[in-house]
Amino acid sequence: MEDWLFYSLTSLLCLACSLLLRARASAAAAPLPPGPRTVPVLGPLLFLARRDIDVEPTLRRIAAEHGPVFTFAPLGPTIFVAALGAAYRALVQRGAAFASRPRAVSPASGGAPVTVMEPFRYAMLCLLLHMCFGDRPGDARVRAIEAMQRDLSQTSPASRSSPSSRRSPSSCSEAVNKMVSLRRRQEELFVPLIRARREAGAGGDCYVDSLVNLTIPEDGGRGLTDGEIVSLCSEFMSAGTDTTATALQWILANLVKNPAMQDRLREEIAAAVAGDGEVREEDLQAMPYLKAVVLEGLRRHSPGLYALPRAVEDETTLDGYRVPANTPVNFAVREIGLDSEVWTSPEVFRPERFLAGGEGEDVDLTGSKEIKMMPFGAGRRVCPGMALALLHLEYFVANLVWEFDWREVAGDEVDLTEKMLDASDTVRLPRNRPGTAAQTASASDRIEAPCSQQSSQNNTEFPSPTEQTKESETRLRSFCETAVSPLP
């Protein structure tokens, strides 16, 4: 007993000395960014016990008190960057140091589907499936893939490195079991499509063809396995479905609130389209106001609060603060896009700022010259699908405004208050969705119909949609399902 006590006390003393020496060495080099103090052991337990924490306002209060570069450490040090200058220095000037990703730590919770979001998401998924596999699968398989991808995103342990990303051991075990089941389902749906492309010769017309023909020189020149291709295809579709659909919804919500902008955009479309009145991809280049509307939507309402987190492999410094190795670093996309030193009245939705003479004229979305906004990240890890996402947004906004009239219904106004779908800051939506799709813009009997929705925060059920609403929703869904055909 005495030996056990002696060895225990000796071990604890050695550990304490080691931690003290490490802390002193780190302090001598550079301090961590400032942040609220947390009590060891007790602090994380209290944080885990709280289920009502509102993450975004909490982080804003910390930034207001400690500055735009701060540390929040309820479950371990996490560094947040909400200053565009610091973001540029980290992501562009020192891109190699901040090019790593932190380890995945927890699953993300999910929200309920919404009325208008469903056809937007479905259209994006159909488009990406066509690009991925060279042809659109049958509707039953598309629906199965849609359900599987949604379940996967709600269960995935892909880390947001958010302080709100927490789970109990039992729920983590359940999530792992569900992930295994979803992976099997994923392979059942994707592998036949992949093998069909292999048998067809993989001529290079789609994403899967490029993966089938890919070899890995570092691994003996082998090709990718079906399982590896399944993972890459899933990532391809997940990255461009919810985020693009969410951005589209925010843009339309603002056009509903600003009818004059919607009218101006429709006039620009009318002047640019060909004689048959159909908006084509080549017509988009003649629509500067459309591009300004899309950019303003991405600036004012970035689909995510933060870019995918970064990490440094070796300890470094940023603006005089120490960044320990493997510490998650989050860059506040939303706050950077609302910097009042760059943008006039940043809270106001004003597309004109991206036209000639505006502060957003010739804005660099890659951040290679400077960072004014970074909806696609910046530096070495900038989103590789940025150009594709912009094309999709411009195409769908143009067609939806050209084909439908979007306006508020009395008593069911669009509320632009932001609403997070989940605690991992994946996507944010307006509280009230612009669900008032009308007939084509040339029609005289435009339909107004309130949308039905179910809040993922309080599960409040809104009134059931009327027959008129159902007709509008059916018309909108039909349009979204067929609108992808003119695109490559």
Per the annotation, binding residues are 383
How far is CA 71 from each of CA 47, 81, 85, rounded to the nearest angstrom? 16, 9, 17
* 303 contacts 243 by C-beta, under 8 angstroms: yes
The DSSP element (H or E) to which 85 belongs, if any, is helix 84-88
* 425 contacts 162 by C-beta, under 8 angstroms: yes
462: phi > 0 → left, psi -120 to 50 → alpha, else beta; which? beta
- The closest alpha carbon to 388, from 125, 208, 128, belongs to 128
The DSSP line for 267-332 is HHHHHHS-TT----GGGGGG-HHHHHHHHHHHHHT-SSSBPSPBB-SS-EEETTEEE-TT--EEEB
The DSSP line for 154-223 is HH-------TT----HHHHHHHHHHHHHHHHHHHHHHHHHHHHHHHHT--SSSHHHHHHT-EEGGGTTEE
Positive or negative, the CA dihedral 392, 395, 397, 400 is negative
**Spatial separation of the C-alpha atoms in residues 409 and 412, rounded to whole Å:** 5
- The closest alpha carbon to 380, from 440, 311, 443, 297, belongs to 311
**Spatial separation of the C-alpha atoms in residues 462 and 59, rounded to whole Å:** 31
* 446 contacts 439 by C-beta, under 8 angstroms: yes
**What b/e string do you get for 240-260 counting C-beta neighbours within 10 Å, with b at 16 or more?**
bbbbbbbbbbbbbbbbbbbee
* 82 contacts 335 by C-beta, under 8 angstroms: yes
Amino acid at 194: I
**Spatial separation of the C-alpha atoms in residues 208 and 132, rounded to whole Å:** 6
**How do strand 78-81 and strand 329-331 relate by DSSP bridges?**
parallel
How far is CA 279 from each of CA 286, 287, 379, 396, 402, rounded to the nearest angstrom? 11, 11, 34, 9, 8
**Which segments are annotated as binding site for heme?**
383
